[in-house]
Amino acid sequence: MSDKARDKVASLDFWSSAVDPAPLDGGITNTNFVVNDRGQRFVVRVGDDIPLHGVMRFNEIAAARAAYAAGISPEIVHQADGVFVMRFVEGHTLSEANVRQQSNLERIIPLIRACHTEIPQYLKGPMLVFWPFHVCRSYILTAREGNSRMMNSLEHFADINAELEKAIGEVKIVFGHNDLLAANFIDDGQRLWLLDWDYAGFNTGLFDLAGLSSNNELSPEQENWVLETYYQQPVTDRQRRRLAAMKCVSLLRETLWSIVSEIHSSLAFDYENYTQKNLTRLEQAYEAFQQMR
């Protein structure tokens, strides 16, 4: 796949000269390259639709273009079948430890709010809904059909998913990124950028706050700060419990994503280890949620 993808990138009619695409590590849904074309650097993402993950490239590209218009994400400068080219951002990818730094959280929350409120002003055409409880149910069905090594846990996951959906109740809909891993933030030294819109779609904003916390292991004090800052009002016990529930949903979804990827992905990535990492976090988060009854 890598050689085929590289040849596809090199042959794009966008380039002004012959190019030598260099693989970019870190992608677990796409194959990515960095290209230098007459002194200008670009990132090229190669990937087809992945219906079993709900990844549809028309949706990703529309979200990325709207995010650029909102000043959140780099510009997409070229699009072809199964590939798009965006401007390279010179900077460093955040780590989980970086995200936990208060100075970075103070930059991240306004970025999330801008995603939720400003991106919809620039969206055109049909866009997907990302309802995490449906996503989890779909993954469970897919894992069963694929005879997952985790078959004995799937019924338990389904029960947890139903319990958490009931606990969350009614929500306000915004436009979510829905994949707030540390690696999707880039610091260019002056500002943060938010990348990778594979799972973007209309959802509750609480899912992004929960994903930020669960993926980066924020402390309870930091979670209180995030809730107060995002909602701009004192945090309540009900908000804490709903965040705790949605953290479980975020981790359940990430665990099931990895379980399904173990079966179906052809990318060179240790999905079994990633499954275990997220399952451990899910078990801890679910225990904490149950103690809040």
What confidence tens digit (pLDDT) does each residue in 234-254 have?
Answer: 999 999 999 999 999 999 999
Sign of torsion over alpha carbons 283, 288, 291, 293: negative
pLDDT band at residue 26 under the 50/70/90 scheme: low
Which residue's structure tokens are 């929960």? 210
Start-end ranges of CATH 3.30.200.20 in the chain?
2-87
Q: What angle do CA 163, 169, 174 make, to 5 degrees?
A: 120
pLDDT at 265: 87
CATH of domain 92-290: 3.90.1200.10
Q: Does residue 231 register a pLDDT over 60?
A: yes
Q: Do the Cβ atoms of 179 and 196 come closer than 8 Å?
A: yes
pLDDT band at residue 171 under the 50/70/90 scheme: very high
pTM of the model: 0.92
Residues with Cβ within 8 Å of 237's Cβ and at least 6 positions away in sequence, in order, are none
Which residue's structure tokens are 């149950």? 290
pLDDT at 29: 67
* Closest among 84, 108, 110, 119 to 202, alpha carbons compared: 119
Q: Which two tokens stand for residue 76?
A: 């997409």
Start-end ranges of CATH 3.90.1200.10 in the chain?
92-290
The residues facing 24 across adjacent strands are 32
Superfamily of domain 2-87: Phosphorylase Kinase; domain 1 (3.30.200.20)
End-to-end CA distance of the chain: 49
Q: Do the Cβ atoms of 258 and 278 come closer than 8 Å?
A: yes
What average pLDDT does range 60-89 have in this prediction?
96
